Structure 1
Amino acid sequence: MKILVAPLDWGLGHATRCVPVIREFMAQGAEVEIAVVKANAAFFREVFPGLRQRLAPGYNVVYPRFGANMGLWLLKNTAHLNAVMRYEHRYAEEMVDRHGYDILFSDNRFAFYSKKAYNVYMTHQRRIAFPPALSAFEGVGIRWHEARMRHFDEVWVPDVAEFPGYAGALSHLQSRSEPNVKFVGPLSRFGVDMVKASASPSGMAQYSSVAVVSGVEPARSRFEASLHEILRALPGRHLMILGKPQVPRNSWTEGNVDFCTHLPTEAFAEAVRNADWVISRGGYSTVMDMAFLGARCIFVPTPGQYEQLVLARELASAGYAVHIPEHGLSVKSFEESFKKKVKLPKPGERGLLQGAVEGLLARG
């Protein structure tokens, strides 16, 4: 079976959570290629240097500077998003015609499907989160997303079926039992063997905190600047991972803060396991990664990305993580957070993914 995997380019999280899916496809004998954009091509070259890459159209999302403007941003960019989806669908059909893919695997790419292939769509947002001011439209958002998903033969949800799982209300919808929905368990690029290896002593310095910068602009750079200023004023030694796999790897030190543009998967896991705290945006892929690595987390949702706010609030309410809104970032808020006792629940076995892949490949 020949498979083309295409992750959405709204941040690196969609790419990282495709790693265990690609590994499982390959482990079960499938021929895999990856549809990439400029922002995630280097990441995939590092993790899967032997896999062929196909250049795909990008959504090129730039979020509004202030989260309160998200509603207007959506209205303003509707035409752009629809145009990208039309192009994306033509691209998918062309890829199948040219290269003979049996299966197209889309991680949240709304129109990456072909009438001449078997199509799988992965999302943890069966319910798209809306801010309070737009909550009346949440039902419209659910129906819109369901209409997109009906173009696919299967919908995979990277969570457990039992509520609340890791994504809570985002992945679990009451009174809905679509026959093509499969829960494949939480997914992370950090496999069990890697987690065990990163827990062993290696001489890496332990940090008071590891700050992981990620997301789309201009929010990403604003988050980086805030953390830069605060960490330099906090006691202890800290590491900032800037999340720029598309630029040459580089590292340097300023005072009590070590910086690196990007870390390979193994080094990233080791840094997290040797840190007292991890500070990050808290997208769902990050939540799953941190759960596999056993990290204590402070999540700072990206303004305007209400999904991250819902996740952070639910995880904080359950005692699994600390939530700090971006406008509340300060030396004091971090010092208070460092006193709290929180931890994400450990994921169970990953047999759900294995079973889903077995069922998918058995079709051929």
Structure 2
Amino acid sequence: MKKTKKILISPLDWGLGHASRDIPIIQKLIELGHEVIIAGSGNSLLLLKTEFPQLKSIYLPSFKIKYSKGKSQLFRILISSPKFLFCIFREYKLLNKIISSEKIDIVISDNRYGLFNSKCYSIIITHQLLIKIPKSVSFIEKILQKINYYFIEKFAQCWIPDYEKEPNISGELGHPEIIPLNAVYIGHLSRFHKTFNDYGNIKENDILVILSGPEPQRSILEKILIAQISKIDYKTIFVRGANEFFNKIEDSENIKFIQFADSKTITKLIKSSEIVISRAGYSTIMDLAALSKKAILIPTPGQTEQEYLAEYVKNKVWFFTQKQDELNISQAICEVKKYKMPEIEENEFGFLSTF
């Protein structure tokens, strides 16, 4: 009989994607009899505390990015670099204290580069081995990759949430020419695994809008979508990805607003909606693929990872995508019917059996 491990899992707080893809890992670790502690901040911690109210949680601040209102985020990211490096160092110091006080055996960090430590077994989850940057400065892409690998290889293992072979969702991001020495492909991660889908396919809504991600771009997209959807006769639900204290919006004749939704609620909403509209985040795409749902994906302007993923899945004829400043919902609703995601292999979580 294997010894029960004390495992700390901590997602990055940039939208809800990192936290949502950690949900099936936490569920499996609990099934295997391990003691799990969740650590994080913001809405990502709120999501995990909502999903797992029985688990101990620790506030562990992460780097909080704020995007610009324009099409490029490069300048904003560059001026934030010193703060980002400081946050990595702060995470490292805080983790050291948590490991000592909580007697942690394993740390699973979802895209938090400072959460490694020689006192325990440390794992980082990331699909972004290759960091896409604007073509105008693409000459530094290799330099960024070396810096990325420097931090990744501080961990005992790097889990890539994708399949090594086709069909894979991450494309070049998770399949560069050379991968880190400690990297292993673990398959897709989605909180909407098939055993969770007991809701049938009765359509109650025409459109489901799922919003998340850093401000002000989350709110900018929300305003654009409300303006366009208000002019068409489609029953729509907005899941705003905001906590209860965020400015509330009153329901209209054809639009209902929900501040925040747990996995059971969001699963039912997705299954009962004809079309989903969301950002082109990697975890969102994995979730939509798991539910075989047609979707309109809108990458965050200047967020090069999402822009790459949007182009990648559109070229594969898996999901229809449009740029935010070219958004035409009426046209997108007609086009989305031509796209279909292939069947994705269900994850058996064999990579957790060694714990």
TM-score w.r.t. length of structure 2 = 0.94
* Matches of 1:193 and 1:243, distance apart in 2: 25
2:117 to 101, 114, 120: 114
Relative to structure 1, is the Cα distance of residues 129 and 177 closer, same or farther in structure 2, using a 3 angstrom cutoff?
closer
| CA deviations over 1:168-203 (Å, ceiling 9, x no partner) | 1110012x25442111111011122212x02255xx
| CA deviations over 1:26-66 (Å, ceiling 9, x no partner) | 11121100012032232112100100000102211101221
* Matches of 2:233 and 2:136, distance apart in 1: 39
| Deviation for aligned residue 1:245 | 4.0
Match of 2:332 in 1: 334
Q: Is the 8 A contact 1:251 1:261 kept in 2?
A: no
Match of 1:192 in 2: 194
Q: Does 1:348 align with 2:350?
A: no
Matches within 5 A, 1:271-350: 271-338=269-336, 340-350=337-347
Match of 2:66 in 1: 62
Matches within 5 A, 1:129-278: 129-163=132-166, 165-174=168-177, 176-195=178-197, 197-199=198-200, 201=202, 206-245=204-243, 247=245, 253-278=251-276
* Matches of 1:177 and 1:260, distance apart in 2: 41
Q: Does 1:50 align with 2:47?
A: no
Report how many aligned residue pairs link the two structures: 351
Relative to structure 1, is the Cα distance of residues 116 and 329 closer, same or farther in structure 2, using a 3 angstrom cutoff?
same
Relative to structure 1, is the Cα distance of residues 146 and 343 closer, same or farther in structure 2, using a 3 angstrom cutoff?
same
SS of 1:67's equivalent?
coil
Q: Is the 8 A contact 2:153 2:182 kept in 1?
A: no
2:32 to 28, 33, 46: 28
Q: Is the 8 A contact 1:249 1:261 kept in 2?
A: no
* Matches of 1:314 and 1:177, distance apart in 2: 20
Structure 2, unaligned stretches of length 5 or more?
none
SS of 1:259's equivalent?
strand
SS of 1:282's equivalent?
coil
Q: Does 1:101 align with 2:104?
A: yes
* Matches of 1:85 and 1:306, distance apart in 2: 22
Structure 1, unaligned stretches of length 5 or more?
none
| Deviation for aligned residue 1:164 | 5.3
* Matches of 1:74 and 1:249, distance apart in 2: 27
* Matches of 1:266 and 1:40, distance apart in 2: 16
| Deviation for aligned residue 1:252 | 5.3
* Matches of 1:325 and 1:87, distance apart in 2: 36
Aligned amino acid, residue 186 of structure 1? H
* Matches of 1:264 and 1:6, distance apart in 2: 18
| CA deviations over 1:81-127 (Å, ceiling 9, x no partner) | 11111101101111111111011110000111112111000000011
1:83 to 81, 86, 96: 86
* Matches of 1:291 and 1:30, distance apart in 2: 29
1:13 to 4, 10, 17: 17
Structure 1 residues 147-156 or 264-273, which shifts more? 264-273
* Matches of 1:23 and 1:249, distance apart in 2: 32
Match of 1:2 in 2: 6
- Tell me which stretches of 4 or more aligned residues in structure 1 moved more than 6 Å: 248-251
CA RMSD of aligned residues (A): 1.8
Relative to structure 1, is the Cα distance of residues 213 and 311 closer, same or farther in structure 2, using a 3 angstrom cutoff?
same
Relative to structure 1, is the Cα distance of residues 252 and 322 closer, same or farther in structure 2, using a 3 angstrom cutoff?
same
| CA deviations over 1:186-236 (Å, ceiling 9, x no partner) | 1011122212x02255xxx62221111111000001011111111111222
Aligned amino acid, residue 12 of structure 1? L
Q: Is the 8 A contact 2:276 2:296 kept in 1?
A: yes
SS of 2:274's equivalent?
strand
* Matches of 1:54 and 1:105, distance apart in 2: 14
TM-score w.r.t. length of structure 1 = 0.92
Relative to structure 1, is the Cα distance of residues 193 and 252 closer, same or farther in structure 2, using a 3 angstrom cutoff?
farther
| CA deviations over 1:253-305 (Å, ceiling 9, x no partner) | 30211211122211211111121211100100000111111110110000121
* Matches of 1:240 and 1:349, distance apart in 2: 28
| Deviation for aligned residue 1:331 | 4.2
* Matches of 1:104 and 1:236, distance apart in 2: 45
Q: Is the 8 A contact 2:320 2:332 kept in 1?
A: no
| CA deviations over 1:294-321 (Å, ceiling 9, x no partner) | 1101100001211111111110111101
Q: Is the 8 A contact 1:6 1:36 kept in 2?
A: yes
SS of 1:277's equivalent?
strand
- Percent identity between the aligned chains? 27
